[in-house]
């Protein structure tokens, strides 16, 4: 049995909670991750710190209250031509992969977000199958100019 918890500025009052989520994502994103400082910024943004637009952070814990998954979605402040939300991070503990934790996190994130959701996914990421099952489609090829 897993329990899902959604966080915002109001209910993530303990710095240790936020740090636990950031450390979990840093460890379990593996080769698809970012530096810890970037994860910190995305989580802070999603919970609306410093008057940011917010988004959602949802965690999954097992029966022993061990963190086994987390998802971070940030509001873009856009709509229509650019989706209202972007999925920034989702990770599950490798010991529970394939057991529905990622799907439960994504479904809760979809249900609690208003508007469309975009995400970036590397072609070899196995999570692409989950995204397709949940209705995500590939609309564009992303191109970036790094300065």
Within 8 A by CB and 6+ apart from 1, the residues are 62, 63
**Mean pLDDT, 10 residues at a time, the chain of 147 residues:** 84 82 96 94 93 93 95 92 93 93 95 92 86 88 81
Rounded distance between C-alpha atoms, residue 92 and residue 77, angstroms: 28
Whether the model pTM is above 0.85: yes
What is the per-residue pLDDT for 89?
A: 96
Note the CATH number of domain 3-133.
Answer: 3.40.630.30
What is the per-residue pLDDT for 123?
A: 84
Task: Give me the half-sphere count of Cα atoms (radius 13 Å) on the Cβ side of residue 136.
Answer: 21
Report CA-CA distances (Å) from 76 to 36, 46, 120.
21, 10, 14
Helix, strand, coil in percent for the chain, rounding step 5: 35, 20, 45
């Amino acid at each position: 049995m897993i329990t899902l918890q959604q966080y915002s500025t109001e209910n993530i009052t303990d710095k240790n909670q936020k740090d636990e989520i950031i450390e979990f994502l840093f460890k379990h994103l593996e080769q698809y991750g970012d530096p810890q400082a970037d994860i910190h910024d995305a989580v802070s943004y999603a919970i609306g710190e410093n008057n940011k637009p917010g988004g959602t952070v949802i965690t999954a814990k097992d029966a022993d209250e061990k963190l086994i998954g987390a998802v971070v979605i940030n509001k873009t402040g856009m709509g229509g031509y650019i989706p209202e939300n972007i999925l920034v991070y989702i990770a599950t503990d490798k010991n529970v992969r394939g057991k529905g934790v990622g799907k439960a996190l994504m479904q809760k994130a979809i249900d609690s977000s208003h508007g469309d959701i975009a995400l970036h996914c590397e072609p070899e990421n196995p999570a692409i199958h989950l995204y397709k099952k949940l209705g995500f489609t590939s609309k564009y090829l992303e191109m970036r100019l790094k300065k």
